[in-house]
């Protein structure tokens, strides 16, 4: 007969493991305690160089050195890691020496470069998946950090980072895309959390999606980010596989709250309240002639569209640009575009434009393949006199709003000088004047119209005034001047000698004499002059719009120009 089998005690298993590790002359050294009971029937024994844990499920495993210190910081088996389930395993990753030990709920990894750090949960899942895919992130450089935005977490490694959020999952971010993301403010910046993994794409490039857009990298172009707003136009064109290729820049802020971004095949533009659109090739040349989005054409509001006889057109805020093989590329401004439409646009008898618009006196003209269009540009402002010296701004505002047919505000208020002067708009009643410095005229006009229609330009150049006046007819918003006289100097419109700032409306322009006709609400109150008068634009600008008379550190003079 054979004797019945006897079970091996935890003490025997721990002793055997200690002996396997070299006993007193091994890595653990001599024992410093007896067997100590733990929760769930487990035991531990302490040694000079560490300890050995035993559990019925996982057996005996030693914990020592840097890994032991990290385990201690997590409150040993009573912390989130639980009991060890393996011994230490030495590894070398990307030339860096280290070791790892597995636990019930995670791992601790130690390296000569980063020290010892635990990895667990969703971040560990992504880490192990990356290893299985041959995309190892290397050794941890930090513990999991819980201070990420909106309840997320992250952990940095020698080869990149893993970020986790409940709504996006855990994703690795590495290389140039990680550097870009860091520069953008990590997950707290406009890119937000990653929502996908880095993916190989056209021409050896890669992309990675984030909450706010997509980051792209290509060996010839570098790393750039395409925000959600730009992705509309980019996606319509086929993303990086399409005609525009990879981005060559990040977004750049531009006029009136808009942005632009340069790509291999063109430039994308976006403006609040609008979609994003690309401009490229010949039309881009014309767009540049008009100073791009800062000029008369403003931002694009359509993609380029094929049209008659192999031509194309693209709509902008301030007009439409056309190109055909015979005519080249030219833009038709808004003030001529309506009449062009009456003739059937490019499909009508006029054909495509063959020149940029030009001025002949106060007539705006443009040549086409089979004819010429022209329009006499005059807002035909109905003059109104200001009721007192508080009201040059509201009265000029009334003249503009009446001329363009804005007889009710965006809030439904009927048009009157007193309404424009009220607290809801220019707020001049009892204030004393419409101050250029605090932009009361700009605010009142924009609120009445319900949009950012006007902007202010302090002490403008002659070119800025001329460009504003010329563009006003296409934009449908007259320019207003806030002019200042000088004591003993020249006087516009026959006013008596004095020093003050005064708002008036430019209602017409004559290119032959480079003069503008101005409607002046103050002629009766200020004792002199004509209700509407012509003045040489450069002289008026130099005499009354460029040099402050009042030396109080505030802005008093300039123009209110259509955006």
Mean pLDDT of 474-483: 93
| Contact indicator for 165, 193 with CB cutoff of 8 Å | yes
What lies within 8 Å, CB to CB, of 43 at 6+ separation is 10, 11, 14, 35, 36, 37, 53, 54
Distance CA 387, CA 141 (A): 74
Query: Is position 268 within any domain?
Result: no
Range of the domain at 474: 391-562
| Domain boundary residue, one of 350, 376, 402 | 376
Give the tens place of pLDDT for each residue, 126-172.
Answer: 999 999 999 999 999 999 998 888 999 999 999 999 999 999 999 99
Query: Is position 87 within any domain?
Result: no
Indicate the pLDDT class of residue 497, thresholds 50, 70 and 90.
Answer: low
Q: Do both 396 and 337 map to the same domain?
A: no
Q: Report CA-CA distances (Å) from 552 to 279, 359, 393, 437, 549.
A: 45, 40, 21, 11, 9
Q: Do both 369 and 395 map to the same domain?
A: no
Q: Do both 68 and 149 map to the same domain?
A: no
| Contact indicator for 525, 504 with CB cutoff of 8 Å | no
> Residue 339: is it exposed, middle or buried by C-beta count within 10 angstroms (0-12/13-18/19+)?
middle
Query: Is position 426 within any domain?
Result: yes
Domains in the chain: how many in total?
A: 4
Query: Is position 285 within any domain?
Result: yes
Token pair for residue 324?
A: 């055909």
Token pair for residue 343?
A: 């003739």
Query: Is position 254 within any domain?
Result: no
Query: Is position 44 within any domain?
Result: yes
DSSP run (H or E) holding 557: none
Distance CA 248, CA 395 (A): 49
Give pLDDT, residue 490: 58
Indicate the pLDDT class of residue 486, thresholds 50, 70 and 90.
Answer: low
Q: Do both 155 and 296 map to the same domain?
A: no
Give the rounded percent of residues in the chain with a pLDDT score beyond 90. 83
- The pTM of the full predicted model, rounded to 2 decimals, is 0.83
Q: Do both 548 and 472 map to the same domain?
A: yes
Give pLDDT, residue 306: 98
Q: Do both 399 and 301 map to the same domain?
A: no
Give pLDDT, residue 1: 47
Closest CA to 358 of 321, 332, 380, 339: 332
Give the tens place of pLDDT for each residue, 372-402.
Answer: 999 999 999 999 988 876 688 999 999 999 9
Question: What's the chain's average pLDDT?
Answer: 92
Q: Do both 336 and 405 map to the same domain?
A: no
Give the tens place of pLDDT for each residue, 282-304.
Answer: 999 999 999 999 998 999 999 99
Token pair for residue 392?
A: 């040059």
Give the tens place of pLDDT for each residue, 186-223.
Answer: 999 999 999 999 999 999 999 999 999 999 999 999 99
Query: Is position 534 within any domain?
Result: yes
Query: CATH number, domain at 527?
Result: 3.90.70.30
Closest CA to 295 of 274, 318, 315: 318
Query: Is position 234 within any domain?
Result: no
| Domain boundary residue, one of 182, 203, 219 | 219
Q: Do both 546 and 497 map to the same domain?
A: yes
Q: Do both 403 and 527 map to the same domain?
A: yes
Q: Do both 409 and 512 map to the same domain?
A: yes
Distance CA 105, CA 121 (A): 7
Q: Do both 61 and 148 map to the same domain?
A: no
Give the tens place of pLDDT for each residue, 256-280.
Answer: 899 999 999 999 999 998 899 999 9
pLDDT beyond 60 at 91: yes
Q: Do both 11 and 65 map to the same domain?
A: yes
């Amino acid at each position: 007969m054979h004797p019945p089998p006897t079970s091996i005690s935890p003490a025997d298993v721990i002793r055997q493991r200690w002996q396997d590790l070299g006993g007193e002359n091994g890595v653990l050294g001599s024992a410093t305690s007896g067997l100590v009971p733990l929760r769930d029937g487990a035991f531990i024994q302490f040694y000079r160089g560490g300890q050995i844990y035993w559990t019925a499920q996982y057996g005996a495993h030693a914990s020592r050195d840097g890994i032991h210190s990290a385990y201690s910081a997590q409150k040993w088996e009573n912390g989130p890691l639980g009991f060890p389930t393996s011994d230490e395993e030495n590894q070398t990753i990307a030339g860096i020496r280290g070791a790892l030990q597995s636990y019930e709920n995670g791992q601790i990894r130690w390296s000569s470069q980063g020290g010892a750090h635990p990895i667990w949960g969703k971040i560990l899942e992504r880490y192990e998946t990356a290893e299985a895919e041959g995309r190892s992130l290397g050794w941890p450089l930090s513990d999991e950090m819980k201070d990420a935005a909106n309840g997320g977490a992250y952990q940095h490694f020698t080869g990149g980072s893993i970020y986790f959020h409940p709504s996006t999952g855990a994703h690795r971010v590495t290389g140039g895309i990680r550097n870009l993301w860091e520069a953008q403010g990590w997950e707290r910046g406009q890119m937000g959390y990653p929502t996908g993994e880095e993916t190989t794409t056209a021409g050896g490039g890669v992309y990675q999606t984030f909450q706010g857009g997509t980051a792209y990298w290509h060996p010839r172009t570098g790393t750039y980010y395409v925000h959600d707003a730009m992705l509309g136009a980019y996606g319509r064109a086929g993303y990086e596989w399409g005609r525009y290729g990879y981005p060559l820049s990040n977004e750049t802020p531009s006029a009136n709250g808009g942005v632009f971004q340069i790509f291999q095949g063109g430039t994308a533009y976006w403006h609040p309240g609008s979609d994003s659109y690309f401009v490229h090739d010949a039309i881009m040349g014309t767009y540049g002639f008009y100073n791009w989005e800062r000029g008369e054409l403003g931002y694009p509001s359509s993609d380029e569209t094929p049209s008659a006889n192999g031509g194309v057109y693209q709509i902008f805020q301030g007009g439409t640009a056309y190109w055909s093989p015979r005519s080249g590329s030219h833009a038709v401004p808004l003030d001529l575009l309506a009449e062009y439409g009456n003739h059937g646009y490019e499909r009508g008898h006029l054909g495509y434009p063959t020149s940029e618009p030009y001025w002949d006196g106060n007539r705006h003209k443009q040549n086409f393949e089979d004819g010429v269009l022209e329009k006499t540009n005059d807002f035909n402002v109905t003059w109104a006199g200001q009721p007192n010296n508080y009201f040059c701004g509201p009265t000029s505002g009334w003249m503009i709003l009446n001329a363009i047919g804005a007889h009710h505000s965006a809030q439904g208020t009927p048009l009157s000088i007193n309404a424009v002067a009220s607290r809801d708009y220019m707020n001049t009643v009892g204030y004393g004047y419409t101050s250029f410095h605090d932009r009361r005229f700009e605010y009142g006009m924009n609120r009445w119209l319900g949009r950012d229609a006007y902007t202010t330009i302090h002490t403008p150049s002659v070119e800025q005034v001329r460009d504003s006046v010329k563009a006003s007819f296409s934009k449908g918003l007259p320019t207003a001047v806030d002019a200042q006289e000088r004591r003993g100097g020249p006087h516009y419109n026959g006013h008596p000698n004095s020093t003050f700032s005064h708002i008036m409306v430019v209602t017409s322009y004559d290119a032959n004499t480079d003069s503008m006709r101005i409607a002046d609400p103050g002629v009766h109150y200020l004792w002199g002059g004509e209700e509407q008068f012509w003045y040489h634009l450069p002289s008026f600008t130099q005499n009354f719009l460029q040099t402050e008379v009042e030396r109080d550190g505030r802005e008093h003079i300039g123009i209110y120009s259509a955006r």
